[in-house]
Amino acid sequence: VPFADLPTPCLLVDLDRLEANAAAMRARALRLGVRLRPHVKTHKVPEIARIQHGGVAGPITVSTLAEARAFAAVGFVDLCWALPLPAGRAAEAVALAEAVDRLVLLVDSPEAVGWIAAAARPGGRRIPVALKVDCGGRRAGVDPAGDEGPAIAARIAEDPRLEWAGLLTHAGHAYACRGPAEVEAVACQERGALLALAARLGRAGLPCPDLSLGSTPTLVHAEDLAGVTEVRPGNYVFFDAFQAAVGSCRIEDCALSVLCTVIGRHPARAALVLDAGALALSLDPGPRHVDPGCGFGAVFDTALAERCGALRIAALSQEHARVEVRGGLPPGAFPLGTRLRIVPNHACLAAACHPVHHAVRAGRVVARWVPVRGW
């Protein structure tokens, strides 16, 4: 099927670009000597995770139990649920951990250690538990310099129902950086936080089997990962307008786009209306800290080859995008029905808006992939 015939808005995944992004990160992890455990929350599609691992069902990171179950059902049996365990989900998580090869659960509180231990069967499989470390993002995790981390780690290690799995961190604050130099500093901080706490634990007689880190910005720039065992980038397989603006990739590396249609023309106010609103692109504000005029995504022609530099997506409502046309809307330009492709600000959020991913190559849809939904 030529994708030009698809009803809009719809999600397109450029396979050539996706495969190139996947291969580049695979090569990078190999060169840096770390296990690649891509975060599948970016796409929630098992077929894409296989491409990330060169055709096999390798280790993955998940953001929801729904992802863990769906990916496990199609052969992904080495999993890490990289969210501090929510109260009330321990029984389900432990049941799944007993059914797969390995499911690492994450905690940053002594309470969560207790929930997992209580759900584990006495004499059953030991459930692997990792400790989340805050490397500067101030979202989840323990302070690597504080006393709470060693206390929680010791509690995991001494419980016979649990397996001490090590430390995990994510430099979410890399997204506030303005370019590679700042990202490199955050990447050092990300690794430094893990190594510092691991050294303290080691001196206390509790070595860390795994040290896991990663975000797309820090991993595309990290040059030294000595001591780290595992990386968990997610967004890199698509990239997006945000990553291009902060220097993680070139805009022409972006593999995800939303195909849309011009549904309104207003020459008097130099404006177009597209049928891709917040439910097709997400309301992610984009890289405003480096490009205040970025709008809600980068607009391209249908081949994703040429950027429509005069078009700025100024506002989104549920199903409409309002586009400003710099320099005015010439007669005959962008007639009603014109198809355009938008590279979203945040690929993970935009992808999660859509029920189907259309994998495209050379202008044709070559596969339809259905992402996991729910929690």
Ligand X SMILES: Cc1ncc(COP(=O)(O)O)c(C=O)c1O
**Minimum distance from CB of 61 to ligand X (Å)?**
6
Q: CA-CA distance, 75 to 135, in Å (whole number)? A: 32
Nearer to ligand X among residue 61 and residue 229 (C-beta)? 61
For ligand X, the binding residue among 21, 52, 216, 282 (CB under 6 A) is 216
* Residues between 274 and 303 with contacts to ligand X, criterion CB under 6 A: none
CA Rg value for the chain:
22
Among 214, 247, 287, 297, binds ligand X (CB under 6 A): 214
Map tokens 């990330």 to a residue.
Answer: 52
User: Cα separation of 238 and 116, whole Å?
Assistant: 34
Cβ(204)–Cβ(168) below 8 Å: no
- Identify the three-state secondary structure at position 371: coil
As a whole number of angstroms, the distance between CA 299 and CA 301 comes to 7
**Cβ pair 210, 165 in contact under 8 A:** yes
Q: Which long-range contacts (CB under 8 A, 24 or more apart) does 61-68 make?
A: 61/37, 61/232, 61/234, 63/39, 64/372, 64/374, 64/375, 65/89, 65/92, 65/93, 65/96, 65/375, 66/372, 66/373, 66/374, 66/375, 67/40, 67/41, 67/372, 68/93, 68/96, 68/103
Query: Which of 234, 210, 257, 249 is closest to 357 using CA atoms?
Result: 257
3-state class (DSSP) for residue 91 = helix
Q: How many of the chain's residues bind ligand X (CB under 6 A)?
A: 13
Pick between residue 61 and residue 282 the one whose CB is nearest to ligand X: 61
Q: Is 344 in the site for ligand X (CB under 6 A)?
A: no
CA angle 236, 238, 243 (to 5 degrees): 60
Range in contact with ligand X (rule: CB under 6 A) among 211-219, 271-279, 312-320, 355-363? 211-219
Interface residues for ligand X in 76-95 (CB under 6 A)? 82
Pick the binder of ligand X from 52, 189, 229, 235 (CB under 6 A): 235
The verdict on 341 binding ligand X (CB under 6 A) reads no
Q: Which is nearer to ligand X, 218 or 325 (CB)?
A: 218
CB closer to ligand X, 215 vs 229: 215
What is the Cα–Cα distance from 261 to 210, expressed in whole angstroms? Answer: 48
Residue 234 binding ligand X, by CB under 6 A? yes
To ligand X, the closest distance from the beta carbon of 62 in angstroms equals: 10
Q: Among residues 170 and 312, whose Cβ is nearest to ligand X?
A: 170
- CB closer to ligand X out of 262 and 348: 348
Report in angstroms how near the CB of residue 81 gets to ligand X at its nearest.
10
Shortest approach of ligand X to residue 226 CB, angstroms? 20
Q: Which stretch binds ligand X (CB under 6 A): 8-16, 182-190, 229-237, 327-335?
A: 229-237
x/- string (CB under 6 A) for ligand X, residues 135-174?
Answer: -----------------------------------x----
Query: Given the rule CB under 6 A, which residues bind ligand X?
Result: 39, 42, 61, 82, 170, 214-216, 232-236
